[in-house]
Amino acid sequence: MKATTLTFLCLTTLATQAHASSPDAWAAYDKDLLASCTKASGLKNVKPVGNAAQFDDRVGYTALLLQGQYPQKHMKGQQGTELCLYNKKSKTAYVTEWDSIRPTAKAQ
């Protein structure tokens, strides 16, 4: 096989593997991410904080910080923070409490 033919085949293979997602595909992904994380959250009135952290596909997860209010009566509507990890392959959200990300209030 000639070097030019081999180079062409390699470039063709790389070009077909390197594809960018369209803006519509990203918008749909973000919508699914937010819906899954919101559903998995234990907080009321939950909202995302900032933008999602997009990890490399080798990791397979996107992280999203959420804030809302604790639903338990004894928490008296106190604000809470959760970290959501969204598995790109299974489209499953996993949430854990992460109040430690916020600075603690100092007693005066």
C-alpha angle 51-24-87 in degrees, rounded to nearest 5: 50
pLDDT score at 32 = 97
Q: What is the mean pLDDT of residues 7-18?
A: 38
pLDDT score at 102 = 76
pLDDT score at 37 = 98
Q: What is the mean pLDDT of residues 53-63?
A: 96
Confidence of residue 6 (pLDDT cuts 50, 70, 90): very low
pLDDT score at 11 = 37
How far apart are alpha carbons 41 and 6 in whole angstroms?
Answer: 52
Q: What is the mean pLDDT of residues 67-89?
A: 95
Closest listed residue to residue 51, CA positions, set 84, 79, 17, 97: 84
- Percentage above 90 pLDDT, the chain: 72
Closest listed residue to residue 81, CA positions, set 32, 58, 48, 57: 48
pLDDT score at 20 = 65
pTM over 0.85: no
pLDDT score at 106 = 60
